[in-house]
Structure 1
Amino acid sequence: MKRPTVTDLANAAGLSVSTVNRLLHGTGALRPDTVERILNAAQSIGFYGLGILRERKQTNLPQRKLGFLLQQSHRAINRLWADAIVTAAARRVDTLIKPVIEFEDDLSPEAVAGHLLALGEVCDALAVVTADHPLISQAIDELRARDTPVIAYITDLSAASRAAFVGTDNWKAGRTAAWFISQMAHRPGKVFPFVGSHRYQCQDISDASFRSYMRERAPAFVVHETQLTNEEPQIAFEIVRRLIAEEPDLVGIFVAGGGISGVLRAMRAFDAPRRQDIKIVCRDIGPEAQKGLAEGLITAAVPHSLKRMPEELIEVMLDRIEGRGQTSIQQRIVPFDIVTPESAWT
């Protein structure tokens, strides 16, 4: 049987021989749908160069370098976010993505702004997790002037020049946390929300909606002043240890920000009856939170989705690269997960 020729392949695909040769020899970029037509035709007629065509499909793809500025490299949850971003980037079949993931351990706005500007020198688009601050907004303005889109990730920013926000519905997350505590607590009592910083919009909104639910649906509970952890487990540990010692009516803790490992360490220092009397809901799903769920110390977690969030983020980043110059701010809201001790994965 005669081996199919390039002409046969072109006829089967309904394209010119020159177009097929461009893909075979890698001499020019083709539209992704055109590449798929050639590959499908090659497979249907048994074209001898199918393996080469599949390789050319990869090299024909557009290439993008995407920058991701995350926080605190020592926190396991942030390492999980980095791994999830790399995995999501590798799953893209329409674009070759080189993810550039960097961490900023210094959470001061000066450090974050400087790091963001430096990363913008080498990337097509950026995503950043950071507290809201005018210095951050200025850096985003400067990057916008360079035609480098910046996407606020997990927590939104007030910067008018940001290209997009990818996160969850933090209002619903806070009310969900309040529902768990009010339903699971053995009795009404005192409840304390924790945030890492008042400048993280996701935490501040969750805190406000938590209080909203308690006022509306659980008025017998007393929600106290929000405790500030500065995203440091040791500070969270000291606060919880003091509260348990000084507040016999403590029945609930909502950890809207960082510090869950410190909260759990403090809880483990007390006897089982006291631990069981305090219901904890957090927004973390790192190794420490998973361990706390398995131990029954955490009643529920309402975290951002480690799988869907990075996928949506990369989709938005690529879209904003193609739509450079757009003035509208894109918003992508991803449903948060709900994890209980009985549904936690290991």
Structure 2
Amino acid sequence: MAGQTVKQRVTIAELAQEAGVSISTVNRILAGADNVRAATIEHVQQVAESIGFYGTGVLSARKENALPHFRFGFLLQQSTRDLYRLFGEKIREAAATRRDVRVDCLVDFVDRLEPANIEGRLRALGKECDAVALIAADHPLLGQAIRELRDDGTSVVTYITDQSAPERAGFVGTDNWKLGRTAAFFISQMTQGQGRVAVFIGNHRYQCQDVADAAFRSYIREHAPDLVVNESEPTHEDSARAYNMVRDLLAKHDDLRGILIVGGGISGVLRALREAPEERRRQIKLVCRDIGPETRKGLTEGLITAALCHPMTETSQTLIQTMIDVTTRDTPGPTLQRTIPFEIVTPENI
């Protein structure tokens, strides 16, 4: 229209001048050449956005393509459990927020927990990925698979619970010794006089649970000798089994004062406690691991004294970074140990 100023389109020469690079560098970026550093592409893209250059979409695509690209596998457990599905979601979120690399996540769940089945799934995932993160009970079959994957160039990072295989590339999880003693602190400080405490684990081969169990007993021996700790019983990650175990305890032991559950089965434990008389429930202090919908409900009801949890966002971010670190190092090195402080959630701070 007459009298209206037409805004001139920013040229490649003007973009190059503003970005402090040559015109040929901008042209190479726009053409998709692979001999331009990712940092330069990112800088030019930022300048282009700030001055309104017409080709910002192309520059964004070039920047994305120039980033280091990884394909990581994550072998989690039991797709039926909300907790593991939440772990998977947080892993994907941690990968998506990275701006310096591209990470494709292949999240797989193992519902049959037999070692041979997990070993086969681990090997299959390892063939498709640059590195694999694994949650599983420690077993020689998995150790052999970890060793052979390492020899084939695929790193395995253990996650939440460790493996004894020296060839594993890294471990990301909490300090389970401190966790076990913290659980014992809660139960011992909130009970009076003599009594009995039950300890439920998922499986005797989960290192994280075994260490927490030993630490729990260590604290009780040192600070609460009036409490008797039962032999650890495995739930096999089965809520129905955990339900029956708690019902038997309530029927046989009037002196039950505490329950520590460091494996799966919390929904079964809570169901049994809800069926008990209210006065009996109040006598029992329950400490568990990690927080999902069922645990959150138990906390709000006051059935759970404390949940000792992995901070999922921080743990997932650290896991992704650890997998990048072990994948990009020149030669296999010592196992990277990344310890994340656990969170303490109670009915008052949920």
Q: Which TM-score band (shorter chain)?
A: over 0.9
Bigger Cα displacement from structure 2, 121-130 vs 56-65: 56-65
Residue 261 (structure 2) aligned to one of 255, 262, 274: 255
1:149 aligns with 2:155: yes
Task: Write out per-residue CA displacement over residues 17-64 of structure 1, whole angstroms, 9 at most, x where no aligned residue.
Answer: 332222222222643322232123324444332343223322332222
More divergent stretch after superposition (204-213 vs 30-39): 30-39
Indicate which of 175, 181, 193 corresponds to 2:181: 175
Structural mapping, 1:104-123, within 5 Å = 104-123=110-129
Distance in 2 of aligned mates of 1:270 and 1:30: 68
Q: For each residue in 1:258-291, what CA deviation from the matched residue of structure 2 results, as whole angstroms up to 9, or x when unmatched?
A: 1111111111111100001000000031111111
- The aligned runs of 1:12-91 (5 Å cut-off) are 12-28=18-34, 30-91=36-97
By how many angstroms is 1:184 displaced?
A: 1.7
3-state DSSP class of the match of 1:121? helix
Partner residue of 1:166 out of 148, 165, 172:
172
Q: 1:89 is aligned with what amino acid?
A: A
Match of 1:302, SS state, is strand
Gaps in structure 1 of 5+ consecutive residues:
none
Which structure 2 residue ranges, 5 or more long, are not aligned?
Answer: 1-6
TM-score of the superposition, structure 1-length normalised? 0.95
SS of match in other structure, 2:33: coil
CA contact (8 A) 2:193 2:226 kept: no
Instruction: Give the root-mean-square deviation of aligned CA atoms.
Output: 1.6
Could you tell me whether the CA contact under 8 Å between 1:5 and 1:47 is conserved in 2? yes
How do 1:1-346 and structure 2 match up within 5 A?
3-28=9-34, 30-344=36-350
Find the aligned partners of 1:107 and 1:150 in 2 and give their Cα distance. Answer: 18
Post-superposition CA distance 1:307-335 (Å, at most 9, x none): 11111101111111111522211111111
Match of 2:3 in 1: none
Please say if residues 300 and 338 of structure 1, whose CA atoms lie closer than 8 Å, have aligned partners that are also in contact. Answer: yes
Secondary structure, in 3 states, of the residue corresponding to 1:332? Answer: strand
> With structure 2 as the length reference, what TM-score do the two structures score?
0.94
Task: Work out the CA distance in 1 between the residues paired with 2:276 and 2:75.
Answer: 38
Query: In 2, are the aligned partners of 1:147 and 1:324 still within 8 Å (CA)?
Result: no
Whichever residue aligns with residue 131 of structure 2, its letter is A
Q: Is the 8 A contact 1:173 1:206 kept in 2?
A: yes
Give the number of equivalent residue pairs. Answer: 344
1:176-213, Cα deviation, whole Å (9 max, x unpaired): 11111111224441111111111111000111111111
User: 1:62, 1:96 within 8 Å by CA — same for their partners in 2?
Assistant: yes
Contact 2:73 2:133 in 1 (8 A): yes
Report the secondary structure of 1:338's partner residue. Answer: strand
Q: CA deviation at 1:3?
A: 4.2
Determine what percentage of the aligned residue pairs are the same residue: 52
Q: Which runs of 4+ in 1 moved over 6 A?
A: none
Shift of the 121–324 alpha-carbon distance from structure 1 to 2, 3 Å rule, reads farther
Q: Which amino acid aligns with 1:252?
A: G
* Deviation readout 1:96-131 (Å, 9 max, x if unpaired): 221101111111111111110011111111001000
8 Å Cα contact 1:186-1:277 kept in structure 2: no
C-alpha change, 1:235 and 1:48, in structure 2 (3 Å) is same
Deviation at 1:76, TM superposition (A): 1.3
Distance 1:252 1:275 in 2: 10
